[in-house]
Structures are given as C-alpha cells and as structure tokens.
Amino acid sequence: MDTEALPLVIENLSFRYRIRPDYALRNISFEAQPGEVLLIAGSSGCGKTTLMRCINGLIPRSYRGELEGRVSLFGEDIKGKPLSAISQIVGTVLQDPERQILGSRVSNEVAFGLENLGLPRDEILLRVDETLEYLGAAPLKRRETFYLSGGEKQKVAIGGTLAMRPSILLLDEPLASLDPVSAQEALRLIRRLADEGKTILIIEHRVEDVLKIKPEKALFMVDGEIRYFGPTSGLAHEIDYHEVKLPAAMIIEKARQDSPPSYVPPQLTPDRKTEELLVEFRDVAFSYEDGPEVLHDVNLTIHRGDIIALLGPNGAGKTTLIKHAIGLLKPKGGQVLVEGQDTREMSVAQVARTLGYVFQSPSHMLFAPTVRQELAFGPQNLGYDTEKVDEGVKQAVEIVNLSGLEEYPPLALSFGQQKRTSIAAILAMRSKILVMDEPTAGQDYKNYMTFMDSILQLPDFAAVLFITHDLDLAVCYANRVVLMHRGTVAADGPPTEVLAQRELLERCRVVPTSLLESNLKYLPKTGRFMRAELLAHVI
C-alpha cells in the first residue's frame, strides 16, 4: 500500500446486477482525499449503495454482474485483493444493522472485527470501551444484542466498525435509526476521525444534519450517474429540493419560485368525546425476561382521526409499546385493548385486521419471491377475494413508487425500495390503523413526502401512527405528538404545544430542526405547522 497515494480513486466505474436489466452505475469517476468527509446524496435506488459495494469489494465478490472500470485504494487496484485485505483498509456500516450484527452481546460485537485482526486482548478491551464511550453507548456494553432497539443496534454496528480504525470509512445512512442527539454525537465523532486523517464517505438522506459537520465535498447521484461533485457549498444550487431535503431556509427560498403544494395534511386534533376509541393502554408495564422494566405506567389512547408521531430517544420503549398494540408482546402489568378487546385474548392475526404494522427493519418482513407476491400475501391470509387483493396490490405499488418492480425479488432491491415494499405490504392489507416504524429510513425526500401525502388521503385508515426520529415528519404531518422517555409517556398533545417546550425536547433528546424553528417563528401568523414548501407562500 502506497501511503503517499490518494486513499480512493474511482475511474470510469459501471456496474449492472446480473438479475437487473439496467445499469446501477454508469461511468462513475471521482477521488477522495485523506482527512475528507464526502457526502453522497441522491434519491432512493440511484446507485449510492451499489457504489459503496464496489469500494468495499462486495462487488463483484458477493454481488454478481457486469463490472467495468477501476477502484484503487492507496494506489492499488482492488480487483485481485481478497475481502480480508480490503476490510483492513475500508470499514463499512450498513443501512440495516440487523444484517451486520453477529455477536450475542454488545461487547462481543464491537470486539468481533478486532479479534479477527488478531489484536492483543488488552488492546481489544481498550478499543471496545473507548468506542462505546464515544458513541454514548457505554451502558449497552453487557446487553444482549437481540433485545436492543433499532437505534441501539445502529450504534453498536457503527461501534464495531469504528473500533477497527480503518483508513477509509463507508457509512450507508448511519443516522437513519439514531435519535437526534445520538446522531449529533456520531457526526461529531465522524468529523473528529476525518480531522485525524481518515477518509469518510457518508450516504445520507438527512442532508441538513450532515452539513453541520461541514463536509469538504458532496456527490449528488441521479439514475446511477454523477450529477454533481464538488464543494458542499455548491450542492444546493445543483439539486432539486423536491428530491433531497435541504435546510428549511434553502427550501423556502427555492420554493417561492414554484407553485405551493397541492396537498396540505390536516392537523386538527380530533375531539376525544366524539371520535371512536380504537386502542387503549391502561397502566401498561413490561420487561423482557428478568431484565429492567422497558415500559411502566403507560396510559395512551388512539382515536379515529389521529395522525400520531411517536418520538423519543433510542431505548425509550417506542417499538416495545407498538409491539404491545399489535399483540406481539403482552403486558406484564395493566391492559392493552384493541377495539375494546384485551390483546391477551386475541391472536396476532385478529389484531392485524385492526392494526397493520410496518417493521423498522424490512428484513423482518420480506420473504416472497417477487414484490407482487409479497404484497398479496397479507390480504390473501385475511381472506380477501382475488379482485380485492389485486386492487389493493395495484394501489399500494402506485402509492410507494414501486411501479416496474413488481416481478423483482424484494431482497434484491435497494434498502429504500425494500422499506417501501414493506410499507406497501401493509397498505394492501387495508387494516383500520396503519403503524409505521421509522418510515423514512432509506427514503429520499420526494419518495416519503409522496407516499405520506397519498397514505393520509386514503379512506381505508381510521388512524395513522408513525415512530420516527425525523422531527420534520412530525412537523409536516402529525396532528398529535406522543413523546416517550424512559419507558413512559412524557408528553401527549398537539405538535404546536409539545414541540414548543424546549426543556422537554432537550430532556427527551429531541433536537429542533430548521423547519421546526421556522414554524415556531411564524406560528402567530400561520396558526399551524407546515412543510417548508408551503411556508414559502404564506410568510
């Protein structure tokens, strides 16, 4: 390895997956400097993850297809290098931590790569402790990975990679499952690593967050090609704000030149006295096996007309709460009632007619040979006739922008496309309540705004609930915010009230975004929260 050479040089790189007719990458060329953070942005399915796989050697070793061009690490072509050699130079954090975690306990997982490098035991233990401390994950050290929340698993996956101290770090949406404070901590660590000389490539749809650590360069991709590569300062002028979410001030400035959005989500809070009660939590408490309580004193109702954003830090109990609503878990104290019936007396299939749940990780849901079969599976098992199944599948495909991918294997799609497939599978079931865990993970701005607009206009759903760390999703769509902290409900009310309490947000590790700040500033004039594109036409 020539340490004087550039860490990464890519020349005329093109790739087509064996099972796909179109090229995923077309004639990609760029280079990355030492001590540089390179932000890679673009819509879901544009080739970002494929580019990462070419750099870390998974293409063509694990993913087969037609590969052209050259990838060089420190002056050496990686074509003849074994993966073991490449992995000592390039560290990768995957989009879905479920695919990366192998160890049964957190300490074992973070140590796994170090052990394979043959480092001394004392050095391994020191690096494990230092890495977990940097990520604010030291309390997780002795936890079993199976019982971690999605965000906690993401922290552990990042930790396992950072502990190996690679020269080049590839991060594929590392912030997707992290609460805002954890995301800031991870980004500060990434900036520090770059300042110490490492080369970092970060794929991220949360562009606003990454811009705070001042990446030296940005690369914007469209349909497998580079649309822009250069200083981050030029990014906003080159990209469509409909595709990549920019800071609110930038969107407002650009959107003034366009027509206002055609759809404005309702944000009126339903009348609790008149609206139908669908789900009720009564003094719910729960713990996994003999561990500490994950939920305690939870009292919560879901009514017809609710559009609820469930916010809170990693490990607050959000996903555990929802798994009680859908019957996957039963409370150890208190009751959960679905349309008046105790979930202890209901099967998961019975609950599914009322609540349809989109898991945080698509790999927990997807199994069918094709997207079409995946979407048809749920409604068929609920006993719908063929005509209704076909109609539901067609509508779901259109809503989440999967047209043309119906005959593809779901697990061969990009992570963002897999996530949309999992959402479509639940849409096709037409349950009364739609519940989504991190619906924006892996999604570009245009895709998730489009499918959220479409979902909220469907007459099938009496209520919608989404767990999210994307505060702007709550600002744009929720008519009710439920804020969880340490296993219980810390606040519950209209977004304009809950999200205006700065001390509460800080305690619950929620960081105000530029969109929230803009909405709070203009709230006396607008009377409600709204997306930046609409704010541009009313302020």
Asked if residue 260 lies in contact with residue 534, where contact means CB atoms within 8 angstroms, the answer is yes
Query: Has residue 273 got a pLDDT over 60?
Result: no
Please tell me the distance from the alpha carbon of residue 528 to that of residue 534, in angstroms, as a whole number: 11
Of 142, 178, 157, nearest to 101 (Cα)?
157
The answer to whether 177 and 150 are in contact (CB under 8 A) is: yes
pLDDT at 8 > cutoff 90:
yes
**What domains are there in the chain, each with its CATH number?**
8-248 (3.40.50.300), 266-354+431-503 (3.40.50.300), 363-428 (no CATH)
Contact 5, 74 (CB under 8 A): yes
In terms of phi and psi (left: phi > 0; alpha: psi -120 to 50; beta: otherwise), the region of 167 is: alpha
Q: Classify residue 489 as left (phi > 0), alpha (psi -120 to 50) or beta.
A: beta
More confident residue, 324 or 362: 324
Distance CA 300, CA 315 (A): 19
| Per-residue pLDDT at 337 exceeds 80 | yes
The pLDDT of 331-337, averaged and rounded, is: 96
Question: Looking up tokens 């073991």, which residue turns up?
Answer: 84
Give which of 363, 366, 360, 317 is closest to 470, Cα–Cα.
Answer: 360
Rounded to the nearest angstrom, the gap between the alpha carbon of residue 92 and the centroid of all alpha carbons in its chain is 17
- Cis, peptide link before residue 379, omega less than 30° from 0: no
**What is the per-residue pLDDT across 233-265, written as a single tens digit (0 to 9) for each?**
888 788 888 878 888 998 998 888 888 877 777
| CB 206 within 8 Å of CB 175 | yes
Q: Residue 269: pLDDT above 80?
A: no
pLDDT in tens, 208-238: 889 999 999 999 999 999 999 999 988 878 8
Note the pTM of the prediction, 2 decimals: 0.81
Question: Could you tell me which of 239, 226, 232 has the C-alpha nearest to residue 47?
Answer: 226
In the predicted structure, residue 298 carries a pLDDT above the cut 90: yes
Does 268 have pLDDT greater than 60?
Answer: no
Of 194, 139, 130, 188, the residue nearest 163 (C-alpha): 130
Query: Whose CA is closest to 19, among 370, 366, 361, 364?
Result: 370
Looking at residues 22-42, what average pLDDT do you find?
95
> In b/e form, how buried is each residue of 68-90, taking b as 16+ CB within 10 angstroms?
eeebbbbeeebeebeeeebbbbb
Model confidence over 122-149: pLDDT tens digits?
A: 999 999 999 998 888 899 999 998 888 7
pLDDT on residue 342: 95
Partnered with residue 73 across adjacent β-strands are 8, 76
- Give the residue ranges of DSSP H helices in 363-511: 371-381, 386-399, 415-427, 445-456, 471-477, 495-498, 502-507
Question: Does 183 have pLDDT greater than 90?
Answer: no
Token readout for 416 is 């963002």
Q: Is the pLDDT of residue 270 over 70?
A: no
pLDDT in tens, 470-524: 999 999 999 999 999 999 999 999 999 999 999 999 999 999 999 999 999 999 9
pLDDT digits (tens, 9 = 90+) for 498-512: 999 999 999 999 999
267 and 529 Cβ atoms separated by less than 8 Å: yes
Residues 279 and 331 sit within 8 Å (Cβ to Cβ): no
Mean pLDDT across 22-35: 95
Residue 457 has pLDDT above 80, yes or no: yes
CA separation (Å) from 168 to 74, 157, 197, 267?
Answer: 10, 16, 9, 45
Interatomic CA distance for residues 482 and 467, integer angstroms: 10
Query: Which single residue is written with the structure tokens 């995301």?
Result: 183
What is the token pair recorded at 121? 């035991």
Burial class, 131, CB count within 10 angstroms (exposed 0-12 / middle 13-18 / buried 19+): buried
pLDDT digits 0-9 by tens, 357-368: 998 888 788 889
pLDDT score recorded for residue 503: 94
d(C-alpha 200, C-alpha 369), whole Å = 36
